[in-house]
């Protein structure tokens, strides 16, 4: 349960018609998800069957790298998982969050954009369990919130409108043949066509980073107006209640981790703690430094202990716990990466809306400030980037792009108008 | 003459010749009391007992060294009593003892007076440092004063050490950086030459304040005059130079002419004597005089 | 920036990082390595570990090239990292911490709040026994040539009910077991006007001010005040503390430094 339910603003405000049509999708909904799952089922076990006997004899690292949800970091080559938001993966520079590491999402103002990211992180974990039939690649642990929190998990993005969809299908089909040629996985089966539909955005990122489809299942694109169907099962997700004794919570979490790793040591475990210490979820006793700091410190120890399986994302509201408060600055020290979402104030939003009134898709909702990045910051690199990126909570994904104040556009706009006036 | 007396006073205090049982040293992150305490040790010919709350190594000058970080105040008192009873002090001629306390900051304010009272003896002089940059705990449950107020109140002399900071670092900038615990590099900070403000209390409780420049390397003390008072001279015309292209200065001839200008009231004074220049009101018909107003009485 | 010659990092006037005269001396000294968010001191710590063990500092000083074995017993205590973190980091310095015999790692991180301090709201006695254990491990090392590093002990102030004076007293005792103690602490957001003794901000500020008063060396690492620069990571200030070293002087300098993604370090005088 978020502090403000469904308060997230959907991009493209001024033209609501674009975001509205949810109608074409339900018709396809039941058909589409099944296809790719079954098709991939046949594809991946074959790959696993070859690898698994070898990986068992080798060390954990080899095992985890065989997990289709894992890829090596672009910088350090350590096993990394996707956050479910490909742009966030990009600004983390590892193309995701390295296993054994944690991310703290800070958010100023009373909005709840961070829950969009957190839910995509969960959905991504659930989706990884649907790559291979009867093989679970990941497990999600959600701490602190009731299970209803996961009712709002975003579903897969299936295109923005009928036309775009058709265009993409055509595009994909043409691409399928190209990549089939260059790809050893190619089997020439017909269902693969549908399977590719799932990998819409992997291809985009794959091309960008000069990768081939060996990480095709690494991440998906999520649509916040869609519900994840079918919803997560108890195989996918566990909920941990917060109790005043942090030792109990930790042993509960560790119990789940051990159980999951016993089933399959190559599983990735995604731990999510939404709205840390939000007073609607947490009673005041949890804000005591003797609870929260040992709790997070011990989680850090757990991350190091299960460095090839566990990763953590938590969010915190800066309105309640400002950055210069002792709590947040201590947390920033204990987390491996910290990203601050700073929604625009009213004046700024108005300015941007005015500047992009002809291009509503360009409207950003706030700044993304990087405070700390996994591995790089602890090595001593200065990773603080203030106000260099902006985020857009679009329907099709949580976009992060380089930020520039749209002043020029306003100028151009006016110039165009004035020239027009002169002409008349 | 007066300055000579104050240097003598400082020397007498440092060598414990003045009757002053508790000498409080206030230091900061910019200037530690380290050098001043060494100066006390240098001047002292007494038995030195060093009570350490934060000092790692026994100073060479200390006759006795007690690590107080792990023991109770009662044990400290016991230790001092055992070391200051006459039979053990054969080494000192006058039987006087100097107790150096490296920091009062480790003792809670509620215990501090008791602690000092328990170790005080006529033969003992206590020199203790208090770090003023440490945050002061605020006592919410009682009106009891803070440790700093208490110590300043009961101390017979207060030595406040400050750094002579260079002009490159302004006072404000320095204090801002210290507030962030970001101590700049400067040879003037924690130097063996520093500014000392001495507040000396007489028996009556009246206090006198002196400022010195202390050079611990050469053991030279001199009275420090505030530079600012000397610098700002209203007649100093060098201040006006190079300000603008206009000529702002006055030549001697111009000055003489200026002095010779007779101001209007001068003549009135000469004519009417002492009552000259007084303001005399004369009623005129256009004046608005309110009879009802009790405060309006021009006559 | 590329045209200026990069400098060797030195901490003392004899151009050393941890001088022989301190290791072989009689006194104990404390030094503070403070850092702010954005500039982690790991690279410096790795180099100091290297220097403590074998007198070299491959990455930051080109003059210190003569390896000296058995230089000191180096003990590293960390409250926020495990041994793996430093053994990986020190590989770049050409040291395998797992095989160096003179190196002892005391992990106060992994099971700090699961085994060592089970009740952070009544932590005094457990913290006392933790430090007793640390002192015993250090004392069990032979000889007197010991250099100890302790990383982030202030987490105890932030996470438990112990007072700053308790921690400072423990550190004082720990310091006496070795010749040189390096205390590594984050210095974000101190408040000299804090007034509530139970407030972690008060405790950490008090801890820091008092540590500074007893220190002989202060190394401060922070991002540039002017903001981000692509070729500069941050500034490093070496300054003396109030307590002087008996045998040697600190070489007070301000450096700016740059760390590349492959952990190469360049230092320049400011």
Q: pLDDT tens across A94-128, in order? A: 999 999 999 999 999 899 999 999 999 999 999 99
Helix (H, G, I), strand (E, B) or coil at B157: strand
Nearest to C27 by CA among C216, C168, C241: C216
> Regarding predicted confidence, which is higher, A160 or A397?
A397
C-alpha span between A165 and A275 (Å, rounded): 35
pLDDT bucket at C192, cuts 50 / 70 / 90:
very high
| pLDDT tens, position by position, A360-380 | 888 899 999 999 999 999 999
pLDDT value for A122: 95
Please state whether at least 3 CB pairs lie below 8 Å between chains A and C. Answer: yes
pLDDT value for B225: 78
- Which of chain A's residues have a Cβ under 8 Å away from the Cβ of C204? 326
pLDDT value for B5: 83
Report CA-CA distances (Å) from A96 to A73, A82, A140, B220.
7, 4, 16, 66
Q: Which residues contact B202 (CB under 8 A, 6 or more apart)?
A: B208
pLDDT bucket at A190, cuts 50 / 70 / 90:
very low
Residue A305 exposure: Cα atoms within 13 Å on the Cβ side: 16
Among A75, A334, A384, whose Cβ lies nearest the Cβ of C261? A75
Domains and CATH numbers, chain B: 2-231 (3.40.50.300)
- Across the beta sheet with A385-393, the strand order is A237-240, A138-143, A268-273, A310-317, A102-107, A337-343, A366-372, A385-393, A398-402
Tokens of C99: 């095989």
Answer yes or no: is pLDDT of A416 > 90.
no
What value does the mean pLDDT take over residues A243-271? 94
Please state whether at least 3 CB pairs lie below 8 Å between chains B and A. Answer: no
**For chain C, what is the mean pLDDT?**
93
Nearest to A314 by CA among A351, A272, A345, A279: A272
Do C175 and C182 contact (CB within 8 A), yes or no? Answer: no
DSSP A316: E
ipTM exceeding 0.90, yes/no: yes
Antiparallel, parallel or unpaired: β B193-201 and B157-162: antiparallel
Matching residue, tokens 């987490």: C155
Nearest to B136 by CA among C158, C197, C209: C197
Answer yes or no: is pLDDT of A58 > 60.
no
C-alpha span between B139 and B142 (Å, rounded): 6
Verify cis geometry, omega within 30 degrees of 0, for the bond prior to A154. Answer: no
pLDDT bucket at B274, cuts 50 / 70 / 90:
low
Matching residue, tokens 């996470």: C159
Tokens of B191: 């130097």
pLDDT value for A191: 45
Matching residue, tokens 């095989």: C99
Domains and CATH numbers, chain C: 29-208 (3.40.50.300)
Chain A residue with CA closest to C109: the answer is A301
What are phi and psi for residue A132, nearest 5 degrees? Answer: -120, 135
pLDDT bucket at B18, cuts 50 / 70 / 90:
confident
Answer yes or no: is pLDDT of B86 > 70.
no
Answer yes or no: is pLDDT of A253 > 50.
yes
| CB spacing of C42 vs A378 below 8 angstroms | yes
What value does the mean pLDDT take over residues A6-35? 41
Do A298 and A251 contact (CB within 8 A), yes or no? Answer: no
Answer yes or no: is pLDDT of B108 > 80.
yes
A16-160+212-423 has which CATH code? 3.40.50.300
Measured from the Cβ of residue A186, the count of other Cβ atoms closer than 10 Å reads 14
Tokens of C107: 């992990």
Among C29, C175, C242, whose Cβ lies nearest the Cβ of B32? C242
Residue of C132, C178, C210, C213 for testing the chain B interface, max B β-carbons within 10 Å: C213
Answer yes or no: is pLDDT of A45 > 60.
no
| CB spacing of C223 vs A298 below 8 angstroms | no
What value does the mean pLDDT take over residues A130-153? 91
What value does the mean pLDDT take over residues C55-74? 93
pLDDT bucket at A7, cuts 50 / 70 / 90:
very low
Least confident span in A239-248, A338-347, B20-29, B239-248: B239-248
pLDDT value for A417: 45
What value does the mean pLDDT take over residues B111-124? 91
DSSP for A4-45 reads: STT-PPPS-TT-HHHH---THHHHHTTHHHHHHHHHHHHHHH
Model pTM score: 0.81
Tell me how close the Cα of C154 comes to any Cα of chain A, in angstroms: 10
Across A243-276, b (16+ Cβ under 10 Å) vs e yields eeebeebbebbbebbeebbeeeebbbbbbbbbbb
Domain locations along chain A: 16-160+212-423
Asked if A80 is an interface residue toward chain C (Cβ–Cβ < 8 A), one would say no
Across B83-114, b (16+ Cβ under 10 Å) vs e yields bbeeeebeebeeebbbbbbbbbbbbebeebbe
| pLDDT tens, position by position, B35-77 | 999 999 998 888 999 999 999 999 999 999 999 998 988 899 9
pLDDT value for C37: 93
- Given its phi and psi angles, is residue C38 left (phi above 0), alpha (psi -120 to 50 degrees) or beta? left
Q: What is the CA radius of gyration of chain B?
A: 29
């Amino acid at each position: 349960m978020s502090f403000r339910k469904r308060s997230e603003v959907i991009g493209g405000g001024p033209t609501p018609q674009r975001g509205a049509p949810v109608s074409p999708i339900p018709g396809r909904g039941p058909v589409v998800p099944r296809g790719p799952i079954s098709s991939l089922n046949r594809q991946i076990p074959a790959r696993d069957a070859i690898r698994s006997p070898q990986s068992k004899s080798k060390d954990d690292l080899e095992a985890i790298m065989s997990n289709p949800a894992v890829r090596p970091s672009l910088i350090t080559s350590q096993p990394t998982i996707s956050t479910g938001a490909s742009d966030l993966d990009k600004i983390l520079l590892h193309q995701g969050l390295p296993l054994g590491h944690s991310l703290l999402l800070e958010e100023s103002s009373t909005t709840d954009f961070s829950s969009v990211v957190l839910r995509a992180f969960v959905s991504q974990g659930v989706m990884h369990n649907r790559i291979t039939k009867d093989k679970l690649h990941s497990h999600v642990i959600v701490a602190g919130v009731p299970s209803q929190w996961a009712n709002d998990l975003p579903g897969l993005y299936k295109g923005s409108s009928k036309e775009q969809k058709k265009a993409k299908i055509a595009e994909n089909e043409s691409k399928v043949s190209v990549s089939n040629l260059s790809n050893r996985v190619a089997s020439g089966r017909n269902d693969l066509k549908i399977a590719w539909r799932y990998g819409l955005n992997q291809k985009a990122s794959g091309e960008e980073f000069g990768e081939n489809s060996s990480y095709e299942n690494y991440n998906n694109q999520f649509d916040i107006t869609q519900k994840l169907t079918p919803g997560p099962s108890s195989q996918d997700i566990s909920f941990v209640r917060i109790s005043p004794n942090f030792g109990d919570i930790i042993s509960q979490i560790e119990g789940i981790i051990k159980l999951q790793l016993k089933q399959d040591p190559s599983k990735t475990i995604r731990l999510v703690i939404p709205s840390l210490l939000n007073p609607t979820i947490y009673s005041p006793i949890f804000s005591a430094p003797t609870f929260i700091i040992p709790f997070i410190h011990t989680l850090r120890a757990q991350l190091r202990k299960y460095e090839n399986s566990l990763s953590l994302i938590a969010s915190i509201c800066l309105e309640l716990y400002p950055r210069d408060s002792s709590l947040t600055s201590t947390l920033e020290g204990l987390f491996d990466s910290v990203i601050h979402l700073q929604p625009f104030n009213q004046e700024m939003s108005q300015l941007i809306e005015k500047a992009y009134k002809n291009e509503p898709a360009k409207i950003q909702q706030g700044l993304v400030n990087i405070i700390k990045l996994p591995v790089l910051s602890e090595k001593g690199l200065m990773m603080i980037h203030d106000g260099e990126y902006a985020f857009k909570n679009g329907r099709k994904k949580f976009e992060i792009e380089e930020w520039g104040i749209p002043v020029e556009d306003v100028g151009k706009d006016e110039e165009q108008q004035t020239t027009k006036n002169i002409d008349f | 003459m007066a300055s000579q007396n104050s240097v003598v006073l400082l020397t007498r205090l440092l060598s414990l010749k003045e009757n002053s049982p508790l000498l409080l040293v206030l230091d900061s992150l910019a200037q530690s009391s380290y050098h001043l305490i060494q100066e006390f040790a240098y001047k002292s010919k007494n038995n030195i007992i060093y009570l350490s709350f934060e000092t790692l190594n026994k100073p060479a000058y200390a006759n006795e060294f007690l690590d107080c970080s792990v023991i109770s105040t009662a044990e400290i008192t016991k230790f001092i009593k055992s070391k200051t009873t006459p039979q053990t002090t054969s080494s000192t001629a006058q039987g006087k003892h100097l107790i150096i306390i490296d920091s009062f900051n480790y003792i809670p304010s509620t215990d501090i007076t008791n602690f000092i009272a328990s170790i005080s003896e006529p033969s003992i002089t206590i020199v203790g440092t208090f770090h003023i940059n440490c945050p002061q705990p605020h006592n919410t449950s009682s009106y009891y004063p803070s440790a700093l107020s208490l110590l300043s109140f009961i101390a017979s002399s207060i030595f406040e050490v400050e750094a002579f900071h260079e002009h490159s670092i302004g006072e404000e900038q320095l204090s801002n950086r210290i507030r962030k615990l970001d101590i700049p590099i400067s040879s003037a900070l924690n130097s063996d030459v520093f500014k000392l403000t001495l507040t000396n209390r007489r028996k009556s409780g009246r206090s006198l304040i002196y400022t010195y420049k202390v050079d611990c390397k050469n053991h030279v003390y001199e009275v420090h005059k505030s530079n600012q008072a000397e610098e700002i001279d209203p007649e100093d015309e060098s201040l006006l130079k190079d300000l603008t292209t206009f000529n702002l200065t006055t030549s001697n001839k111009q000055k003489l002419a200026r002095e010779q200008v007779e101001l209007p009231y001068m003549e009135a004074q000469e004519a009417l004597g002492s009552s000259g220049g007084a303001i005399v009101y004369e009623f005129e018909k256009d004046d608005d005089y309110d009879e009802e107003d009790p405060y309006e009485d021009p006559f | 920036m590329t045209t200026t010659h990069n400098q060797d990092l030195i901490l003392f006037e004899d151009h050393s990082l941890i001088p022989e005269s301190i290791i072989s001396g009689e006194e104990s000294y404390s030094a503070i390595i403070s850092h702010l968010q954005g500039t982690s001191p790991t690279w410096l710590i790795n180099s100091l570990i290297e220097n403590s063990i074998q007198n070299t500092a491959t990455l930051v000083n080109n003059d210190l090239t003569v390896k000296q074995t058995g230089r000191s017993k180096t003990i590293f205590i960390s409250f926020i990292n495990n041994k793996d973190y430093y053994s990986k980091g020190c590989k770049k310095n050409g040291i395998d911490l797992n095989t160096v015999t003179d190196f002892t790692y005391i992990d106060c991180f992994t099971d700090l709040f699961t085994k060592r301090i089970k009740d952070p709201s009544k932590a005094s006695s457990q913290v006392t026994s933790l430090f007793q254990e640390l002192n015993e491990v250090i004392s069990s090392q032979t000889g007197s040539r010991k250099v100890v590093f302790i990383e982030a002990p202030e987490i105890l102030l932030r996470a438990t009910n112990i007072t700053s004076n308790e921690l400072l007293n423990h550190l004082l005792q720990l310091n006496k077991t070795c010749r040189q103690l390096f205390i590594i602490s984050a210095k974000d957001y101190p408040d000299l006007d804090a007034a509530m003794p139970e407030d972690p901000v008060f405790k950490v500020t008090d801890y820091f001010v008092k540590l500074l008063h007893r220190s002989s060396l202060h190394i401060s690492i922070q991002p540039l005040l002017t903001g981000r620069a692509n070729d500069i990571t941050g500034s490093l200030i070496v300054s003396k503390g109030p307590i002087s070293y008996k045998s040697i002087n600190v070489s007070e300098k301000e450096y700016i430094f740059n760390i590349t993604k492959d952990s190469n370090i360049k230092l320049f005088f400011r």
